[in-house]
Amino acid sequence: MSTPIIAMRGISKTYGTGDSAVTAIKEATFEIFSGETVALLGPSGSGKTTLITMIGCITEPSMGKLSLNGEVVYDEKWLIHDERKLRRENIGFIFQAHNLIPFLNVLENVTLVPQMNGVSTKDSNVKARELLEYLGVGDKETKMPSQLSGGQSQRVAIARSLANNPKIILADEPTAALDGERALSVMQLLRKLAHEQNVAIVVVTHDERMLPLFDRILRVEDGVVREEQY
């Protein structure tokens, strides 16, 4: 068996203390492998965003152990020195549709993180153009985000999340702002990416129609995470 790209062991998260304490995730234990597409399902307030942002090292767990790509990143405390660097180099995030940087054009939005990682302008432009082409928005590179449709900006956001060759893509309701058909095509694209480029993709979704596109479903209910068989 290969090493899981994401491994959680008894991860819990409690916000606040005393009477106002809320345990948002309770002893989550699961593994996700490269090339898998995983849906995170569950009612509002069940803990999905908490879970996905812990995987992304944005939210600090309260206890347990988290490993990414075989490296223990959290074991009762962070074991990494620079979580922003870890994120930039390994993880792509896709949140809501309209989170492009408004004063940068499409190409600049996609090349920003690679350039922060020290990739040259020339190389990052080549890679960004390749991704934009692949996602069907190659002709939009000089447009500003405000000039794009919802579906186009979502594709640019996906290109941006892929620009640093992440091993893990985390998406929190990435298709919420899209109509049914566009939402489906964005999800199909993510699935294709996972399978062709061996990327692990974890997607929070409320949309039951998307479920056939996922390899696995994790259901979160009142902070308890369990694998759904289907």
Ligand X SMILES: Nc1ncnc2c1ncn2[C@@H]1O[C@H](COP(=O)(O)OP(=O)(O)OP(=O)(O)O)[C@@H](O)[C@H]1O
Closer Cβ to Mg ion, 125 or 175, answer by number: 175
Taking the complex as a whole, the smallest distance from the CB of residue 13 to Mg ion amounts, in Å, to: 13
Close Cβ partners of 213 (under 8 Å, ≥ 6 residues apart):
37, 184, 187, 188, 191
Closer Cβ to ligand X, 50 or 90, answer by number: 50
Taking the complex as a whole, the smallest distance from the CB of residue 48 to Mg ion amounts, in Å, to: 5
Closer Cβ to ligand X, 54 or 194, answer by number: 54
- Site membership for Mg ion, residue 175 (CB under 5 A): no
CA distance linking residue 157 with residue 162, whole number of Å: 9
Residue 217: exposed, middle, or buried by beta-carbon count in 10 A (0-12, 13-18, 19+)?
middle
58 to 106, 140, 184: CA distances (angstroms): 25, 31, 28
What is the per-residue binding string for Mg ion in 6-45, x denoting contact by CB under 5 A?
A: ----------------------------------------
CA dihedral 173, 180, 34, 118 (to 10 degrees): -60
Taking the complex as a whole, the smallest distance from the CB of residue 54 to ligand X amounts, in Å, to: 10
Q: Which residues bind ligand X (CB under 6 A)?
A: 15-16, 22, 24, 42, 44-50
Integer-rounded Cα Rg, in Å, for the chain is: 18
The three-class DSSP label of residue 62 is coil
Q: Which pair of tokens denotes residue 23?
A: 């345990």
Closer Cβ to ligand X, 53 or 197, answer by number: 53
Closer Cβ to ligand X, 41 or 193, answer by number: 41
Chain residues 89-148 in contact with Mg ion, contact rule CB under 5 A: none
Taking the complex as a whole, the smallest distance from the CB of residue 52 to Mg ion amounts, in Å, to: 8
- Please choose, from the candidates 152, 193, 149, the residue with its C-alpha nearest in 3D space to the C-alpha of residue 171: 193
Among 37, 49, 152, 154, binds Mg ion (CB under 5 A): 49
Backbone conformation region of residue 29, classed left if phi is above 0, alpha if psi is from -120 to 50, else beta: beta
- Site membership for Mg ion, residue 46 (CB under 5 A): no
Closer Cβ to ligand X, 148 or 171, answer by number: 171
CA distance linking residue 43 with residue 26, whole number of Å: 16
**Which spans of this chain sit near Mg ion (rule: CB under 5 A)?**
49
